[in-house]
Amino acid sequence: MNPRSILRRRRSLLLSAAGAAVVLAASVAVAGTAEAASTLGASAAQSGRYFGAAIAAGKLGDSTYTGILTREFNAVTPENEMKWDATEPSQGRFTYTNGDRILNQGLSNGSKVRGHALLWHAQQPSWAQSLSGSALRSAAINHVTQVATHYKGKIYAWDVVNEAFADGGGGGRRDSNLQRTGNDWIEAAFRAAHTADPNAKLCYNDYNTDGVNAKSTGVYTMVRDFKSRGVPIDCVGFQSHLGTGIPGDYQANLQRFADLGVDVQITELDVAQGGNQASIYSSVTRACMAVTRCTGITVWGIRDSDSWRTGENPLLFDNSGNKKAAYTSVLNALNAGGPTVPPTSGPTSPPTSSPTTPPSAGACSASVTLNSWSGGYTATVKVTAGSAAVNGWAVTVNLPAGGAVTNAWNATSTGTSGTVGFANVSYNGQIPAGGSTEFGFQGTGSGPSATPTCRAS
Ligand code: 9MR
């Protein structure tokens, strides 16, 4: 959908919800403490949070722009430079020049870098737009793997998948070429990203999910399912492109996601200029500050003239780079403080240390569930311990001729075709008596038809 019409729809939703919205405080508490910091980033950092901006590589030569950037912000997001059309303009040819400029700008300023976005229905290169089925699935997973590998160890959080849920009341997925490759495309993307960069936080990011509504509940249900099945998701991004209102349950919505065990982040904040702009900015900031797992806020641009919302003046600095009232309201809300983000809420990649004293060995069994499409599949393998605890396991799968394993998660693999071996990784080798764990792999051709064998150690 055209971003303008998305925004129009978004705004009408907000307006229609205005009657139910909380009454916003007309004035903002000023911290007035010795700790009050004078820039957004420094102020956010006092509670372990970041305050970031989406930036454009083409503007880094503008000294007013970079002056505000380096003074105020301690996180950056590339507005367009890490999207699929920018990073893989023709299939298999990767271009990172502008993405790297954003990365280096951020890192050299001591900032966190949010990667945006590995897979999205929009801003796909034309070659990907014309693919479908297994060719698109493979290309998409390869894209995730290549880009996340290029930036491995440098990205604080990746928007692995952007805007995959539909608007309207259903709470279901948006139709797209990616969605038509199978409902599991999102988890396949998260698994590939986790394999490529185990230390980046992996986020799902969307708009119109800023309050409790059918769309955000659809995302919530997906995240809950991912957490229950061990799909590596660490965070959810709430874009928060707001009009003249804010959902009354904005903070409660953040909190319900945080309660699932993921971080939450405000990822693309901008607010239409009007009487309420400063107080809406303040409300968003206070909501994040009140949620322990809300790790940071990003505004979608620096000056009003940098915004994608031409003419709406939705940002914190005016066209000349002067601070607006909204800036002051955000700074005050940050300086008012909130629960500190625990340092332990870093990437939730599983521990890598191995047990030193292995428990005694026992038998195991394995079963496979396939999700197939024409020319490919993903397999989920359940490994179940027998009557004794298992300290390590090896599963053997026989693949039909012509197919190959392209990607595996939660296991190491040996071989890609014919008889393929999978073994536990450090964090899932130990299975209690009668317990089970899961690993998965993706392949071309048809999936295995016979029950895999399992050997315990
Ligand atoms: O701000 C981005 C603008 O420069 C691009 O033209 C546009 C293309 O779709 O994408 C804008 O950023 C979007 C972001 O990547 C995802 N959420 C919505 C943002 C505003 O459209």
Q: Which residues line ligand 1 at a C-beta cut-off of 6 Å? A: 3, 79-80, 122-123, 162, 207, 239, 268, 308
- Whether 438 is catalytic is no
From ligand 1's centre to the CA of 307, what distance in Å?
A: 10
- Distance from Cα 123 to the centre of ligand 1, integer Å: 9
Q: Which is the closest atom of ligand 1 to the Cα of 3?
A: 21
Question: How close is the Cα of 268 to the center of ligand 1, in Å?
Answer: 9
pLDDT of 373: 74
Mean pLDDT is highest, among 16-25, 128-137, 436-445, for: 128-137
Cβ–Cβ < 8 Å for 287, 24: no
> What is the C-alpha radius of gyration for the chain, rounded to an integer number of angstroms?
23
Atom of ligand 1 nearest to the CA of 116: 15
Q: Give the residue from 323, 237, 339 showing the smallest Cα distance to 286.
A: 339
CA of 122 to the centre of ligand 1 (A): 9
Q: How far apart are CA 340 and CA 253, in angstroms?
A: 19
Is the Cα torsion angle 21, 237, 345, 112 positive or negative in sign? negative
Asked if residue 286 has pLDDT above 90, the reply is yes
**306 has pLDDT over 90:** yes
**17 C-beta neighbours (distance < 10 Å), count:** 16
Distance CA 172, CA 174 (A): 7
Rounded to whole angstroms, the Cα distance separating 452 from 423 reads: 12
Of 308, 310, 312, 315, best ligand 1 pocket probe by most atoms within 8 Å of the beta carbon: 308
Q: Among 81, 163, 187, 312, which one carries the catalytic annotation?
A: 163
| 80, 116, 271, best to mutate for ligand 1 pocket (most atoms within 8 Å of CB) | 80
Q: How confident is the model at residue 362 (pLDDT cuts 50, 70, 90)?
A: low
Lowest mean pLDDT among 192-206, 274-288, 329-343, 378-392: 378-392
pLDDT of residue 28: 38
Nearest CA, atom 8, ligand 1: 123
Helix (H, G, I), strand (E, B) or coil at 244: coil
* 300 and 241 Cβ atoms separated by less than 8 Å: yes
Atom number, ligand 1, closest to the C-alpha of residue 308: 1
pLDDT score of 122 more than 60: yes
Q: Residues 163, 169, 171, CA angle at the centre, nearest 5°?
A: 50
> Are the C-beta atoms of 325 and 277 separated by less than 8 Å?
yes
Angstrom distance (rounded) from CA 415 to CA 215: 42
- The Cα–Cα gap between 93 and 115 comes to 19
Cβ–Cβ under 8 Å, residues 239 and 207 = yes
What residues contact residue 426 under an 8 Å CB cut-off, 6+ apart? 350, 351, 352, 353, 354
Cα-based distances in Å from 186 to 27, 139, 143, 217:
42, 14, 13, 17
Res. 343 pLDDT band, cuts 50 70 90 = confident
What are the counts of helices (DSSP H) followed by strands (DSSP E) for the chain? 12, 17
Check residue 356 and give its pLDDT. Answer: 36
Residue 430 confidence (pLDDT) above 80: yes
81 as an active site residue: the answer is: no
pLDDT in tens, 87-109: 999 999 999 999 999 999 999 99
Q: Per-residue DSSP letters for 102-170? A: HHHHHHHTT-EEEEEEEEESSS--HHHHT--HHHHHHHHHHHHHHHHHHTTTT-SEEEEEES-B-SSTT
Residue 396 reports pLDDT greater than 50:
yes
Residue 30: pLDDT over 90 = no
| pTM assigned to the model | 0.74
Average pLDDT over residues 382-409: 90
Q: Average model confidence (pLDDT) for the chain?
A: 88
Using most ligand atoms within 8 A of CB, pick from 118, 158, 268, 309 the residue to mutate for ligand 1.
268
Find the mean pLDDT for residues 164-189.
Answer: 96
User: 338: closest CA among 35, 23, 27?
Assistant: 35
Query: Which atom of ligand 1 lies nearest, measured to the CA of 54?
Result: 1
Identity of the residue numbered 287:
A
Q: Are 403 and 419 in contact (CB under 8 A)?
A: no
Query: Is pLDDT at 63 greater than 90 in this prediction?
Result: yes
Instruction: Give CA torsion, residues 313, 317, 321, 325, to 10 deg.
Output: 110
**Sequence-ordered list of residues with C-beta below 8 angstroms from that of 211, at least 6 positions apart, any chain:** 17, 247, 248, 249, 250, 253
- The pLDDT, as a whole number, for residue 238 is 98
Q: How far apart, in whole angstroms, are the C-alpha atoms of residue 71 and residue 77? A: 16
- The distance between the two most distant Cα atoms of the chain, rounded to a whole number of Å, is 71
Please give the DSSP secondary-structure letter assigned to residue 354.
Answer: P
**Which two structure tokens, joined as six digits, stand for 113?**
């870098």
Q: Which residues lie across from 190 on neighbouring strands?
A: none
Which residue's alpha carbon is at the smallest distance from atom 10 of ligand 1?
80
